Structure 1
Amino acid sequence: MIPRIRIAHLPTPIEPLPRLSAVLGGPQLWVKRDDQTGLALGGNKTRKLEFVMAEAQAHGAQMLITVGAVQSNHCRQTAALAARFGLKCTLVLFGDVPQTPSGNYLLDRLFGAEVVWTKREDYEEVLQDVFHKAWSEGKRPFLIPLGASTATGAVAYAYAFKEFIEQGGEADWMVLASSSAGTQAGLVLGARLSGWHGRILGISVDHPADWVKARVAELATQAAERLGKAIHVSADEIDVNDEYIGAGYGVLGEREIEAIHLFARHEGLLLDPVYTGRAAAGLIDLIRRGFFKSNDRILFWHTGGVPALFAERYAPYLL
């Protein structure tokens, strides 16, 4: 049994989306509400942090250090977790420094995290420098990579898949946002462990499909090893679509805006501009193009991120 600290509100519900299904005139749509995991307004990283925090405690950590974009959902949840357990937290953020804190960055500040700013292309070097400086000062830091997408973090979504099965979930497809690959990797592993025969489609929000497939396969294989299972996952088994990256990571486009409006106005369900908005945009377009069968049952795995809706940079485009 892999150590785990229970902080998430689980199981998250599975809900039908009947009005959106009717509007799109396609397959039957359902949603898995991992935006409701509880920690600091929820999101998929809370599941991962249950396992990562247990790992940090086993190493005697007194500080958490991680990295992400200025509106990082992972950083927001890590900062909240550190506050909850009385640890210091340093976030290495890349992107333009906001004139006024808003969205996830506002919450980072409320949770008391220290922020170190860098450029996206330099974040790995800066992250290591911050970690080594904290270590040399005796602060007992624990480094969490981008998105908590480690083998340990991926294990969380193997358990999440088991939760889906125990809820009586049925689906021909799962569709989700995929970036640092840990969530999709865990679901892929969970599907293998359960013998599920549906397909898991990651909509890439920023990376080429080949990169995401390779990373998902690598993490799924490593997570299987963490569970004591001799399972090898290859990249050619992984479904990833990179046609919806648009103008790049975190750049809100017309497709994302339409998806956010459709989910809000037909189901009262909020998506975020970066991850779920982009994944939903891909899902909607694929339905319209006839990619899915009309009798398919599709589960949209909502990975959270809603606080980014209130970021100063996005709000004007959504009205």
Structure 2
Amino acid sequence: MAHKVRKLEYTIGTALAAGADTLVTVGAPQSNHARLTAGVRAGRRELLSQVPSLDLAVVALGSGGTMAGLVAALGADRVLGVDTGAMDEPAAAVAAMVGELTGSGLRDRLRIRSDQVGAGYGRLTESAAEAPRLAARTEGVALDPVYTARTMAGLIAAVEDGTVTPGRTTVCWHTGGLPGLFGRTEAVDRFGSALERFPA
């Protein structure tokens, strides 16, 4: 969830500079953004200081804020957004936010995959059901069914279709959301039954 803290560094910094002592925010049920806004802290490292050779960051595209922040920092060529179906025109939303951050319009250059939306936001797709099992078994990383599962499914699809090639330093941006798993019984049932088929 470091990406949310990174965005909050700017928001909180601006608020403190303006003399504000109260910050009001909203989010969806089980919002990680709301949780971290309540407990914001400083001192996080920036992505490029951790991965100087970064070629591509793959990130969930929900409200568009995370992708916009990454595009503003890294450039449109180094960010691939995986649409979660959270809004009707994600490219326009991201382009508007990038424009506010950088003063430039990048809508035509944004890299967005829309092949992981399936039946819509909040509906578990087959690829988003498979991605968490693969990530858990091979990397020990837990993914939520709406955002990070779609992100990983999008990255897998990008490798399969040649968008991401061997030798490139690629980061799958984990946006948190694990508590959201427990609010979706279909996902818990499917992930749990699938993992039971494999020996420990």
Q: What TM-score, normalized by structure 2, do the two folds share?
A: 0.79
Match of 1:183 among 58, 66, 81: 66
- Give the CA deviation at 1:258: 0.8
Describe how 1:165-314 pairs up with structure 2 within 5 A.
Answer: 165-192=48-75, 198-207=77-86, 211-224=89-102, 231-311=103-183, 313=185, 314=187
The runs of 5 or more residues in structure 1 that have no matched partner are: 1-34, 38-43, 85-158, 225-230
> In the TM superposition, what are the counterparts of 1:64-103 in structure 2 within 5 Å?
64-81=23-40
1:122 corresponding residue in structure 2 = none
Find the aligned partners of 2:36 and 2:8 in 1 and give their Cα distance: 8
1:59 Cα deviation after fit: 5.2
Q: Kindly provide the CA deviation profile for residues 18-71 of structure 1, in whole angstroms up to 9, marking residues without a partner as x.
A: xxxxxxxxxxxxxxxxx3x4xxxxxx3222223323444435344x43333223
Contact 1:171 1:198 in 2 (8 A): no
3-state SS, counterpart of residue 188 of structure 1: helix
Given that 1:208 and 1:242 are in contact with CA atoms closer than 8 Å, whether structure 2 keeps it comes out as no
Deviation at 1:191, TM superposition (A): 2.2
CA separation in 2, counterparts of 1:295 and 1:80?
38
Q: Which region of structure 1 is more displaced relative to structure 2, 308-317 or 239-248?
A: 308-317
Distance 2:56 2:153 in 1: 16
What secondary structure sits across from 1:302 in the alignment? Answer: coil
Which residue identity does 1:281 align to in structure 2? Answer: A
Conserved? CA contact 2:7–2:69, under 8 Å: no
Superposition map of 1:39-188 within 5 A: 44-57=3-16, 58=18, 60-62=20-22, 64-81=23-40, 163-188=46-71
Using the TM superposition, give the Cα deviation of residue 265 of structure 1 relative to its aligned residue in structure 2, in angstroms: 0.5
**Per-residue deviation at 1:207?**
4.6
Provide Cα deviations, 1:81-123, integer angstroms capped at 9, x if missing partner: 5xx9xxxxxxxxxxxxxxxxxxxxxxxxxxxxxxxxxxxxxxx
Q: Which secondary structure does the structure 1 equivalent of 2:68 belong to?
A: helix
Check conservation: 2:143, 2:177, Cα contact below 8 A. Answer: yes
Q: Which structure 2 residue ranges, 5 or more long, are not aligned?
A: 193-200
Task: Report the Cα distance in structure 2 between the residues aligned to 1:268 and 1:168, rounded to whole angstroms.
Answer: 20
**CA shift at 1:168, angstroms?**
4.6
Contact 1:201 1:239 in 2 (8 A): yes
Contact 2:81 2:111 in 1 (8 A): yes
After superposition, the CA RMSD in angstroms is 2.7
Aligned counterparts of 1:80 and 1:165: Cα–Cα separation in 2:
24
Query: Is the 1:173–1:200 Cα contact (8 Å) retained in structure 2?
Result: yes
Write 1 or 2 for the structure with the bigger share of strand: 1
The share of aligned pairs that are identical, in percent, is 39
CA displacement at 1:206 relative to structure 2 = 1.4
Residues 205 and 275, structure 1, Cα contact 8 Å, conserved in 2: yes
Displacement of 1:75 in angstroms is 2.4
| 3-state secondary structure, aligned to 1:248 | coil
Is 1:317 matched up with 2:179? no
Pairwise CA distance, 1:293: 2.8
Code of the aligned partner of 2:108:
D
